[in-house]
Structure 1
Amino acid sequence: MAEAHPEELRENARRRVPRTKVAVPAVGPDFVRRPRLLAVLDQARDAPAIVVCAPAGSGKTLLLAGWARPETTAWVSLDGDDNDDRRFWSAILDALSGCPSVPHDSPLRDQPVPRRPSRDPGFLAAVFGALDDLPDVVRLVLDDLQELTEPEPLQGLEALVRYRPAGLRLVLASRETSSLSLARLRSAGQTTEIRAGELKFSPTEARALLAVSGVDPRPTQLRRLVEQTGGWAAGLKLAAMSLTDADKVFLGGSDREVGNYLLAEVLSELPDQQRDLLCTISVCEKVSAGLARALSGRADAATMLDTLEHETSLVARSGADGAWYRMQPLVRSYLLADLGKQAPARAAELHAKAARWFAERGRPVPALAHAVRTGDAERVSGPLRRQAVSLILSGEHEVLHEALAVVGDQVVAQDSMLALVSALLCLEEGEPEFALLHWAHADAAWPPHPGAELQLLRRLVAARQAEITGDVGDMVRATSGRLRGQGHRLDALDRLYRATALLTASDPAAAWDELRVALDAARDREQTYVATQILGILAGLAGTAGDFRQMAELAGQADRATIEHGWERTVAGATASALLAYDALLRAEPAECLRHARRAGRLTDGGQGLTLLVGTVAGAARFELGDWTAGLRQIEQARLAGGTRVSADLVALSAVVQHRAASRLGWSRVAQQALNESRLRIPDCGEILLMRARTQLSLGRGESAEKLLRPLVDGTVPAILPWTAVEASLLEAETAKLAGNEGRAVRALTRALSAAKAGGLRYPLVFGSREVVGLLATHRGQLGELNTFAAEILAARRGFAGPEIPDPLTERERSVLRLLPTLRSFDEIAQDLTVSPNTVKTHVRSIYAKLRVQRRRDAVTVAMDGGLLETPHPDLHD
């Protein structure tokens, strides 16, 4: 071969390329691996082309850099200068030359680059031939492919794709679908594509991304952040920057850092027409082609949306039929904020257009929501009056609040229907005092000839008020009579409140039947909020009847609806969470119980019954987790806050749980108080016998305890709570064990296990006394078909690593213990208690043994830390 002339060599020399341009980007220690996407890339290693296409900030570069193997990867970070065809190919050849898999004698390392390489068949043939001859496959990553806009480098890249050299695999990363044609490879199934949807961070990935910045959000915060950012990597990082400042709240697209990023990296690269269309449709959470045409006035709006979807991924189709488009949440948030700031009149006009469009198509909720955004009270008041009742039944409380705020307090106060709707809203959100104010306004503005619906609405508000306050008489009076006419839109709500009145009148069977009819009516009319309320009450009824599995299922359905629609802070949401907390306690999962109880506790005031249930189960859970004193105090406080207008089953639950905890801790006065109050409120029931028997056993009177338990165990005296029978059998087993009657103890234990297994109850067994657990352990494997369940109980018991409750102290021991911190001598303590010094020493030895200590100071410390020195609650009086 003839040697090239020096001038020709100079003419064909490669352009100088910065080293960083052809180096695989380094991933720092804060890099978040994404196994699900790395698995997709690994599976596509042999595909001729991998395409990663998503908007700026989606994490394309880091994903590929974290996946790339330096020994087999050539990387080019493209920029605008690469539209110079010679520089483009110089960069590719330099990247290949720097790849360890390319042999030192490969022609690629010194291949000259002619003036117009993509149009030079000889050059392309030489490069492709050298790539064919590579001993190992090299992956060439071309990052930021959208920077290539000139025909020559695109033509060369097309040739590379079309020829598919045996030693090369292409990996193309771009913000938009380039003009590069991959149709042939796609049709042959030879491309793997990762789009914006796949690159969205899942909640788990988002948590990991935030964690590297020291941000550890709660589950609800995490869910909100992922929704707000659309799982967009850059948005999550910007959120993390904001949230590392404890006093700062991430505001989405209105945050300055976010806005600057979006303007510089995303929106500035769009054509004016596309940017204007995005700005126009930003007033809607989602748009159809028809709505986009109505808002923009552009006949080609559908085509533009399609282009934006395929070329930028800034909008994506949604819905089962793909007829709607959603914009990337942060982009929409920024554009909407900017529109309201720069052109508020245009924003109001666009919302008015959207309101008309939805109203014409029978979509009242979005129509009213957009009318609200105009800020025009006259535009809002008409649809509000027409739709307020339907919106409260379906649970569109946020839209209602906003609409009522726009029309103003004065207008609401002068309109009976709006005032009653406002009162019902307040009751559902735990604000009964404000409900009374709206009720007074409704009465003051009451028309001389009210329509049937207005009268019914007034009756239903009265019924809801009575239900929350626990006034049985008012509840029954408010729901008396039948609804005039069939198929009325308030029929389901009317039946719901009538069922509640039946419950207060102790007719659960009739209430259940009424609620099932009400649920069907609510679902038929798509009154989702009413249906959710009904599910919660049905769940409570199932629990009262002892069907705790059905209780959990129905409460779970209600809970999922409240989370989906954002109703966690309503009575319906709190009821579902409270019942799930109760279920978790009965399954012996106290941590899960506390999680649900905290959610239920967000409601300001859900009524006395709800307050009592939440406080009781939460206190019991805290007690079982080892926070004995605080747990018992919480149960006491719940009983006080619950008042006197609560159902018998809630009174029994609170009393039994409080008495059980107080007896185990040795707080005899608190235990006796629970028993005394129960005698007044729920006399002649099995729970009274259970508490009396437990008291006798704690005093060492086993025979008395056994006699008290007998009518409860044999069913002569009925119990209120479905699981009282389990507690009674366990107490009988403990009594028999202490009396040395092992046979009777095992029979009682077997009876308790059988009932607990049938009802899905683990709480009384897992947190049973040491005698009960000892019986289980001793007779493990000898209980027939109950062996598996017994093993589960023992495993659950071992799973709790909290401290064991010390043996309860006697009253005399407690008296001695109270005087130990005073530093009196034993003789002086004996004089104070009018006993002999030897008696005091005997009590002290017993105290040391029960507390597992050997010194006076340690006894005082253990007693104080464990809450064993009973002190009166500030709200309790002797």
Structure 2
Amino acid sequence: MFSLLDAGVQNPVTLVCAGAGWGKTMLVSTWARTRTAPVAWLSLDKHDNDPQRFWGYVLAALDAAGIVPPNHALAELRSVPTDERERGRLLSSGFGQLSNKTVLVLDDFHEIDDPRVLQEMNDLLRRPPTPLRLVLISRQLPALAVQRLRAEGQVAEIRADDLMFTDEEAAALAHGHGLELAAAEVGQLLERTEGWAAGLQLGAGFLADGNGGRSIADLAGDIRSIDDYLTNEVLANWPANERRFLLQTSICERLCAGLANAITARHDGQRTLEQLEHSNDFVVRLGAKPLWFRYHHLMRDALRHRLSLEDPAAVAELHRRAARWYAANNSVLEALDHSLAAQDWPYVGQLVATQGAPLILSPQQDAFLKILQRVPPDQSSSTPELIFCSVVLLFQAGNYEAIPARIARAREMLGQRGDTATRRPTELMLLTPEMLAERAVGNMRAVIAVSTQLLDLLAADASADGLVATQQRAVALNHRGLALLWTGRPEAAARDLRAAASAARTADLELTEMNATGHLALLQIFCGSADEAAQLATGVRTLAERRGWRYSLQTVAAHFAQALVELERHDLDAAQEALRQGTHAHHGNPEAAQRLVALGIEARLAVTRREPTRARLFLDEARRERSPRLHAPTLDRWMSLIEAEVDLASGGSEQPHRADITLAPDATLDFAHRVARARFAFAAHDLRRAEELLRYSPTTLTQTVATVEAGVLGAIVADARGHAMQAVDQLRDTVALAAREGIRRPFFTMADSRLDAIMQRLRLLGGETPFLDQIISEVRAGTGVSADMAIAQGLSEREIEVLRYLPTMLSAAEIAGLLGVSVNTVKAHLRAIYRKLGAARRSEAVAIARQRGIL
């Protein structure tokens, strides 16, 4: 800190400016004692507001420091001239003849307000005498014209920010009071006192006097010692109108001009706040522009204490004024906080009903719920609006069964009101928790009914065009969209979810927008494009990560959609991680539908990892946990598909009847279920039935996952029926679609030697792509199709190629044509293969190759 003063006195003027108790005088006096050159010191008070007296004391201070010898020009000032011109001439010439860099400290310069003294100081500083170095200690910026010197870099300033105690200094001060504080406690003490020296001194004394029974959390501005200091040293020095302004506005944590004017019923809030911030360090500007301000923590405590003592009856009214200003400026949480402080219970309910309900689905949800918990139980049934508050808390607690009765009671009370204008907002708001509760238990028919009712009421209300109405519309559209998704109306669901995302964006409801977009991603992966699902889910998850909302309930759908996308991409580790994140987020407020999605993903992961027994455990758990009120046909059909996959993985060829038990009748089969039925038919060697089931194209949203699965199975069926080129052509189109969408899972779930052979033929016929090569390599690694095994049997690379065609219906001539060699060459390779495998004919060679893991 001394280095700041050492550097400062290289300039003509050094201002040490901070409020009372910041240690200004202590700092400068300690620094002065360390200097070898003398320092002249003058402590000023209000009686020094006279030019003759002021300059006489200045000369006395210089004399006392031994700076002015008897014959010095300044000696003529010992009898200070009454003539201003003569006095000015002597000052200018006298200070100019001082020894090099003479330091003159004027302490408590804020006491000087005489215009004549200030003018003569300004005259002196207009052309500062080269040897003179002024150090001005003041509680506020002095009324001196130092702008030119400041612009020229000739003024050094040491302010409260420079005087704040450091961690080490605070710890040392506490130690001096017999306190041994941990580093975290020192940090808390500094945060509470904001590094204010007097506050630290008084606070440490308070803690020490408590003999260990007091904590830093108890340290406040209304403690007797701190309150007395601030009242006597700070508040007492302010004019009555400023003091009243401070007392009244102390009810707020931060202030702007409009809020201050609303509270004080004055019109000078901006000027007063700027003057207070300029004149002391207990009013702090928030930001570069003078828009928002706050009071020092301990000062605000002291002010509120003074207000409660001097004008307790006014406190509630001041809070009411603040509440209404915040409400008018769409700051609902602050408005509610002040309404609660005023114990204005009806207005609390009114605020929640007209402005606060969307906060349930916002990042401010936790703060909103804590505010609602402050409503006394005996008030929670006094108005329909306060009943709504209690319903919100019931929803958060998961007590869905108690909600209908509370809503019915609120509607009964509303029916007794004659004023439609005051009744309508609450009628609309009551639909939101009803919708949320039905969503939580999975009653999607009820969700559609309630959300449609809310949308109809909003559409019929000509006045419903403000922010709250837009927020309500976004929430209602989101709920209806997701309910339409789960009830099997994907086109209508997509329309509502897109509209919900757009409305939420307009209303600045990011979490609702993320939820709608996440359900759009689920819709796409269930019955649309895997690639688009990935883009939508990634967008939501990236935004959630940036905002710190990774585990928000509103991100669950996006996490689960991402898990399903990764499953189709056959990146099982990534799918497991996305599922973990979604499950973590879901625990905050579980929904019946999303619980089924989570268990379905777990089951699908298990069956994809070839663990059908484990997959059945998840399916059994889903049946046990299913909510009795759940109505979600889309989920039911999806779970039946997973069960079919498990049956196939467990040996579907032996259970063809399971297809009829698990899947819907033919007349209601969607495309994905037709593909599943076709897989059962193929497993039962009913190739004609499998082909019939696959002879179908989706007519709704593009079902890329099912289309790829159908394409892979169709190629296998065509090959099994002897249509080798048809199989290759079908697989070529399928691989192109799969590569575009990143879909890989069907190639693994239906992997066998026939599919491997078709992929090899496709590659040999010019269909080679990085995607196909990677699929072939990974499928072989996972299913035992191994060139290494073949080489171990003594087969050459060309013989391995021929061997892969043997399970097909292709003739030797056709194989020769595909490989681009003569038929005799193929026959020679066949003889070598039979000999090396010990087979007599083609079918026997295939069986041996499969037995040995070559095919």
Q: Give the count of matched residue pairs.
A: 603
Change (3 A) 1:391 1:466: closer
Change (3 A) 1:500 1:172: farther
- Give deviations 1:47-78, integer Å, cap 9, x for gaps: 54343533345676799899999669976776
- Secondary structure, in 3 states, of the residue corresponding to 1:432? coil
**1:531-542 correspondence to structure 2 within 5 Å:** none
* Equivalent-residue separation in structure 2 for 1:67 and 1:503 (angstroms): 75
* Contact 1:243 1:249 (C-alpha < 8 Å) held by counterparts: yes
Letter in 2 for 1:270: W
Aligned to 1:161: 125
- Secondary structure, in 3 states, of the residue corresponding to 1:55? coil
Deviation at 1:127, TM superposition (A): 3.7
Letter in 1 for 2:407: A
**1:219-258 correspondence to structure 2 within 5 Å:** 248=215, 250=217, 253-254=220-221, 256=223, 258=226
Deviation at 1:276, TM superposition (A): 2.0
Matched, 1:495 2:461: no
Aligned to 1:174: 138
* Contact 2:534 2:561 (C-alpha < 8 Å) held by counterparts: no
* Equivalent-residue separation in structure 2 for 1:70 and 1:579 (angstroms): 71
* Equivalent-residue separation in structure 2 for 1:227 and 1:509 (angstroms): 56
Name structure 1 gaps, 5 residues minimum: 1-23, 28-37, 98-104, 563-567, 581-592, 611-641, 661-670, 693-713, 730-749, 756-878
Deviation at 1:280, TM superposition (A): 1.9
Aligned to 1:432: 398
Aligned to 1:621: none
**1:350-389 correspondence to structure 2 within 5 Å:** 350-355=318-323, 369-377=337-345, 385-389=353-357
* Equivalent-residue separation in structure 2 for 1:275 and 1:454 (angstroms): 42
Matched, 1:338 2:306: yes
* Equivalent-residue separation in structure 2 for 1:549 and 1:140 (angstroms): 67
- Secondary structure, in 3 states, of the residue corresponding to 2:15? strand
* Equivalent-residue separation in structure 1 for 2:148 and 2:374 (angstroms): 57
Change (3 A) 1:507 1:536: same
* Equivalent-residue separation in structure 1 for 2:365 and 2:646 (angstroms): 44
Deviation at 1:395, TM superposition (A): 7.0
Aligned to 1:308: 276
1:677 to 610, 617, 620: 617
Letter in 2 for 1:483: L
Letter in 2 for 1:262: L
Change (3 A) 1:650 1:46: farther
**1:793-832 correspondence to structure 2 within 5 Å:** none
Aligned to 2:598: 646
Deviation at 1:238, TM superposition (A): 7.5
* Contact 1:279 1:335 (C-alpha < 8 Å) held by counterparts: yes
Deviation at 1:279, TM superposition (A): 0.7
- Secondary structure, in 3 states, of the residue corresponding to 1:51? strand
1:519 to 501, 505, 517: 501
- Secondary structure, in 3 states, of the residue corresponding to 2:19? coil
Change (3 A) 1:265 1:684: same
**1:291-330 correspondence to structure 2 within 5 Å:** 292=260, 295-296=263-264, 303-315=271-283, 322=290, 325-330=293-298
**1:65-144 correspondence to structure 2 within 5 Å:** 79-80=43-44, 83=48, 85-86=55-56, 88-89=58-59, 91=61, 115=78, 119=87, 122=90, 125-131=93-99, 133=100, 144=108
* Equivalent-residue separation in structure 2 for 1:504 and 1:722 (angstroms): 25
- Give deviations 1:283-324, integer Å, cap 9, x for gaps: 344555565456446676665444323222544566897455
* Equivalent-residue separation in structure 1 for 2:79 and 2:355 (angstroms): 69
TM superposition score normalised by structure 1:
0.51
Deviation at 1:555, TM superposition (A): 0.2
- Give deviations 1:422-469, integer Å, cap 9, x for gaps: 323554xx4223x65454322344339978866664553244235445
Deviation at 1:554, TM superposition (A): 1.3
* Equivalent-residue separation in structure 2 for 1:156 and 1:394 (angstroms): 61
Aligned to 1:465: 437
Matched, 1:53 2:17: yes
Aligned to 2:780: none
Matched, 1:277 2:245: yes
* Equivalent-residue separation in structure 1 for 2:222 and 2:301 (angstroms): 10
* Contact 2:607 2:645 (C-alpha < 8 Å) held by counterparts: yes
* Contact 2:43 2:108 (C-alpha < 8 Å) held by counterparts: yes
**1:719-758 correspondence to structure 2 within 5 Å:** none
2:406 to 434, 441, 459: 441
Deviation at 1:115, TM superposition (A): 3.9
* Equivalent-residue separation in structure 2 for 1:75 and 1:578 (angstroms): 74
* Contact 1:79 1:148 (C-alpha < 8 Å) held by counterparts: no
Aligned to 1:770: none
Aligned to 1:553: 542
Change (3 A) 1:579 1:534: same
Change (3 A) 1:421 1:492: farther
- Secondary structure, in 3 states, of the residue corresponding to 1:178? coil
TM superposition score normalised by structure 2:
0.52
Letter in 1 for 2:499: V
Deviation at 1:164, TM superposition (A): 2.0
Deviation at 1:494, TM superposition (A): 0.9
Change (3 A) 1:79 1:306: same
Higher radius of gyration, 1 or 2: 2
* Equivalent-residue separation in structure 2 for 1:509 and 1:60 (angstroms): 72
- Secondary structure, in 3 states, of the residue corresponding to 1:646? helix
**1:18-29 correspondence to structure 2 within 5 Å:** none
- Give deviations 1:708-733, integer Å, cap 9, x for gaps: xxxxxx997999x99998xx99xxxx
Aligned to 2:589: 606
* Contact 2:9 2:135 (C-alpha < 8 Å) held by counterparts: no
* Contact 1:52 1:194 (C-alpha < 8 Å) held by counterparts: yes
Change (3 A) 1:63 1:371: same
* Equivalent-residue separation in structure 2 for 1:392 and 1:240 (angstroms): 43
Change (3 A) 1:313 1:608: same
- Secondary structure, in 3 states, of the residue corresponding to 2:98? helix
RMSD across aligned positions (CA): 6.8
